[in-house]
Structure 1
Amino acid sequence: MFVTDLEPPPPGPTLTDTRPSGVFGLELDFATRDEQWLPDAELVDAAVGFDRLIAWASARQSAVLAEFARRGGDGSIRPVTAAVPAREWAADEIAMALTVSPGSARVRLAVAARLDGALRGTREVLEAGRICPSRARLIADRVALLPDAVATVVQDRVLPKAPGQTWAQLDAALRRAITAIDPEGAAERHRAARKERRVDVFAQDDGMATLWARMTAPDAAASFEWLTRLARGMGADDDRSLDQRRADLLAAALTGKLVIRDPTADPVVTAPVSPGKPLITVLVPYSVLTGFDDAPCEISGYGPIPAQLARDIAADAVWKRLLVDPVSGAVLDHGRSTYRPPAALADHVRARDVTCRHPRCRRAATTCELDHVTAWQDGGGTGEDNLAALCTAHHDLKEQPGWRVVLHPDRSVEWTTPTGHTYLTAPYDHRV
C-alpha cells in the first residue's frame, strides 16, 4: 500500500536562520562561491548570513578581549583582584595589535568587560547573529553610566525586540527604558545636559559649512517642524528640494532676511515671519500629568523624554485627547470637535501611527503623507482601516513595481519586497 497523504518534512535551516559559527562561515563561503548564478532572493539571504557571521565573530572577539583584560598584570589566568592588579598596558597592547588608538582600545576593552558581565545577555544575542555589532555597542554606550544592576534591567527590557529594530529604533527603545527604570536619574541627566546647550559651526569642503545646535528636544523638534511647514508652503513653482528650502529658510531667519509678503496689498506689505506656536506631538500618560508617577513620555519622531520635561511642555500647550487601549496600547479614539471629519480622521491616523509605517523608518507621522493602502481607483476607501502614514520616500517606494503593502485588521502593516521577502511593522504601542 502506498501512502500519499504524508506531509512533506519541514524545511531545513537556511542562511538566514542557521546559528553562525566557524562551520557556518565555510558553508556560507561555499554557497556563495558562484554568486553570479544565485537568484535575487538567495543573494539577499546570503547578505543576511554574512551579517550574522560578522556578529558572531564580533561576539567571539569581545569574549577574547574580556578574558585578556581581566587577567593579572603578570599574564596569569588568575582573575584581577586587589592582590592581583590589572595590566596597565593592556590597552597599549590591543591598540598596536588592532591598529587603533590607545583611547579606542581602552573603550573596546571596557565594552568587552561589560558584555562579559552585566550585559552578558547582549553578547549572547550578538553571538547568535541576531543583532549587529553596532547595536550591541549602542546598548553598551547607552547604559555606560548606569550601575550594573540597572544596566542589566534595561538590557533585559529591550533585547526581545532588538533583533527586529534598526539602530535608531533600538536607540529610542533604550532611552525609553532608561527613563522608565530610572526616572529620577533621567530628570537629573536632562538638567545637566540642558546646561550644555550651544551653537557651533564647522567648516566643510567646497565653501560649505555645518551649523550645529544643541538644544532641548522640544525646541529642536518644534524648530524642524516649522522649517518643514514653511518649506512646504513655498509653492509648487519653487524648484528647490525640501532640504534646500529648509536650509535657505534657516539662513534667512538667522540673518534677518526672512519676511512674509502680501502681494495683494497695495502697496505690498512686508513683515517679519512670526508663525506662532509650532505643532509637536507629545505622548504623555495621564498618570504623569497628575503627578502620580514619572513614567517616560515621548515626542513623536524624536523619542522618550523625562516626565518633568513633558509636564513643562504641557503647561504651555494645546491639548488633544487620545483614548488608548490599556491592553494593546493602540489608539482607539482621537477626541476632536473643532474640525471637519477629514481633519479629525487625519489626526487620528497620525496619532495612531506616530511614525512612518515603513519597518525601518522613524520619520514623524506629523510630517508624513496619508496613503490609501488600497488605492482609491482600486476600490480603497478613505477610512482609518485603509490609511497609513508614509514619508514621501516610502510612499514613492510603495508605488514601485514589485512592492506590495497590506494593512491588516490589527493595523499591522506588511511589506513584501520584489524578491518575495516580507517584513511586518506592528502598530505603535502607546503604553509606557
Structure 2
Amino acid sequence: MTRCCSVPEEAPAPTSLSDEELLATLRDSEVARRRLYAAQLRTLAEIDARGLAQARGYGGAGALVRELFTLSPVRARRLLAHARAVADQVSPSGAPVSALLPETARALADGRLGEDQVEAIHSAMATLPTTVSEDDRACAERILCEAALSSEPRIVARLGREIQARLYPDGTAPSEPELAQPKRWLVLRQHTSGELSGSFSLDAETASLFTTLLSPLTAPSSDERGPLGRTRQQRQGDAFAEILRLAAHSPRTPHEAGEPVTLLVSTRLTDLRNSTGHGLVDGHLELPASQIRRLACDAKAAPVVLGSRGEILDIGRASRTVPRHLRRALIHRDGGCTFPGCDRKAKWCHAHHVRSWADGGPTALDNLALLCGNHHRLVHHTEWEVRMINGRPWFIPPAHHDPDREPLRNTLHTHRVRGLGTTADETRRPRCA
C-alpha cells in the first residue's frame, strides 16, 4: 500500500493579510512548529525504546534519523538527546518513567519553548555534578525553563553556569602555574592627536574578570529599525570606555556606578508632562522633551519650569532623585535590568520611575525599576508598559508582541539574588487587569 502525505489547506497569501493578521500568523506558525517538534521527539524516543533502528541494521536511532533525513552527525545526536530528555520512558520491567526534563517537556509541548531553548536547558542540566540531589535538579530545571520563556538561549546558558557554580562552588583545584606569580603587562602609545593605542597581556584570573566586565556591554545594540551598525571591535571599544568611566567615578564601590550627572533643564511644564516639544539642558544642548523625561529618571536635576509664555514659574533646588541608600535597596531587590530576558548587571543600569517623575511619581522603591540604557529608551519610546505588581516590576508587551498582553518579568536576576530557593509565588505570572 502506498502511503501519501496529506497536503494542508493552502494558507492565504501574506499580501492579503492585515498587519495584525501577519503578526498573528507568524506567532501561530512558530507555536505549531514547536509542537510538531515535541511530537517528533516523542516518536523518536519510542523508536529508540523499541530498538527499531538496531533491528534494521543501524547502530542506533541517531544513525537512523541521520540517514532518513540527511542530517549532520551533530544535528542527529542533538535530536536524539532531546528525545531522551523530554519524552516519558518505560523501564525494562514495564514501569513508566517520567521524562528527565519534565518542565521543559511540558513547555515544548505547549509551544512555549523552541529547539534552541531546549538545547540550552539540556546542556546546562548535563553539566551539573552527579552529587546534586534530585530536588536541586528539579529546582534548577524549573529556574532554567522559566528563564527560557523570555530569554535568549545564551542567557539561559549563562544562568546554567551560575547555577552550576552555586551547587558546586569548590570547582577544580588550581594547577601549579595558576598559583605562581601572575604575568601581566601593558604597553601604551600616545599619539599626537591625543588618541591612545597599545597592547596588553593578562593572566587567566584577571582575563576572566576583564571579559566578565566587557561581556554585558558588547552585545549588539539596536533600535526600532534594527541593529545598529557597530562592529564587534567598536562595541568592545565602547565597553572598555564604559568600564573606564565606571572606575573613574567609583574607585572603591563599583555598585554605586558613579555620581549621576547634574542637569539644568529648561522646558515648559506642559511639554515635559506630555513629552512634546524641546528643552535646553545646561543652557545650550537642545533635547526633545521625551528624552528629558528619560534623563530625569536617574539624574541630579535642577528644573527651571516655564509657563505658557516662557515666564519662569519655579527654579527647583538641585537634588538627587535616587539617593544612594535607595539605589542600594533597588539593586538588592532587582539585581540588574528588570526587562524580560536582559542580563545587564545593576551597576550598568538606570533607575526608572514607573510613574514618571515629571508626572509627580514619587522617588520611592515601589515606583522604581532598574533598566539598562537600551531598555530604558525602549520603555520610554515604545508601547511597552511597566507596572508594579506585588512590589516588583512586570512588563506589559505591546499587542503586536502578545495579543493577550500577558505580564512578563525578568527571572534571571531574581535567582541570582535569591539562589535556588526562590519560591513559586515570586515568579508566578499574574493576569492583566
- Give the secondary-structure state (helix, strand or coil) at the position aligned to 2:408: strand
Q: Which residue of 2 aligns with 1:101?
A: 72
Aligned to 2:122: 140
2:327 partner SS: helix
Residue 171 of structure 2 corresponds to: 188
Q: Is contact 1:56-1:128 (8 Å) kept? A: yes
Give, in whole Å, the separation in 1 of the partners of 2:384 and 2:115: 30
Is 1:63 equivalent to 2:42 in the alignment? yes
User: For residues 150 and 365 of structure 2, what CA distance do their matches in structure 1 show?
Assistant: 26
Q: How does 1:246-325 map to 2 (within 5 A)?
A: 247-248=236-237, 279=254
Stretches of structure 1 that go unaligned for 5 or more consecutive residues are: 1-21, 78-85, 199-210, 229-239, 253-258, 261-272, 282-338
TM-score (norm 2): 0.53
- 1:360-383 superposed Cα distances (whole Å, 9 cap, x missing partner): 212112101222222222222323
Return the TM-score normalized by structure 1.
0.53
- Greater CA deviation, 392-401 or 33-42? 33-42
- How far, CA to CA, are the matches of 1:93 and 1:392 in structure 2? 49
Q: What do you get for the CA RMSD once the two structures are aligned? A: 5.0
Q: Alpha carbons of 1:66 and 1:216: their partners in 2 closer, same or farther (altered >3 Å)?
A: farther
Could you say which residue in structure 2 is the equivalent of 1:5? Answer: none
**Map of 1:33-182 to 2, 5 A cutoff?**
33-36=12-15, 38-72=17-51, 75-76=54-55, 87-88=58-59, 90-116=61-87, 117=89, 118-119=99-100, 121=102, 122-146=104-128, 153=135, 156-157=138-139, 158-159=141-142, 161=146, 164-166=149-151, 167-179=153-165, 182=167
CA contact (8 A) 1:154 1:174 kept: no
Superimposed CA distance per residue, residues 151-193 of structure 1 (whole angstroms, 9 cap, x where no aligned partner): 965563233635633135544554455455x43xx5335869x
Identity %: 24
Structure 2: which 5+ residue stretches go unaligned? Answer: 90-98, 184-200, 219-228, 257-319, 420-433
Cα distance, 1:151–1:34 mapped onto 2, change above 3 Å: farther
In structure 2, which of residues 311, 321, 325 is the aligned counterpart of residue 344 of structure 1?
325
Q: Match for residue 224 of structure 1?
A: 214
Aligned to 1:389: 370
Residue pair 2:349, 2:373 contacting (<8 A) in 1 also: yes
> 1:151 and 1:95 mapped to 2: Cα distance?
35
Q: 1:393 deviation in Å?
A: 1.2
Looking at structure 1, the residues matched to 342 and 216 of structure 2 have their Cα atoms a distance apart, in angstroms, of 21
Change (3 A) 1:410 1:99: same
Secondary structure in structure 1 of the residue aligned to 2:396 = strand
Change in Cα spacing, 1:99 to 1:34, as seen in structure 2 (3 Å) is same
**Aligned-residue offset at 1:280:** 6.0
**Cα distance between partner residues in 1 of 2:172 and 2:129:** 15
Shift of 1:126: 1.4
Letter of the structure 1 residue corresponding to residue 342 of structure 2: C
| Alpha-carbon distance between aligned partners in 1 of 2:327 and 2:231, rounded to the nearest angstrom | 22
1:431 is aligned, of 406, 418, 429, to 418
Cα displacement (A) at 1:358:
1.3
2:308 equivalent in structure 1: none
Give the conservation status (yes or no) of the 8 Å contact 2:35–2:109: yes
CA spacing shift, 1:403–1:146, aligned 2, 3 Å: closer
In 2: Cα distance, 1:351 partner to 1:422 partner: 26
Seen in structure 2, the aligned counterparts of structure 1 residues 130 and 215 have a Cα distance that, compared at 3 Å, is: farther
Question: CA separation in 1, counterparts of 2:372 and 2:254?
Answer: 18
SS of equivalent residue, structure 1 residue 143 = helix
Tell me what 2:279 maps to. none
Q: CA 1:244–1:383 in 2, change beyond 3 Å: closer, same or farther?
A: farther
Equivalent residue in structure 2 for 1:410, among 391, 396, 405: 391
Contact 2:322 2:351 in 1 (8 A): no
Equivalent-residue separation in structure 2 for 1:355 and 1:62 (angstroms): 36
Q: State the AA in 1 paired with 2:418.
A: R
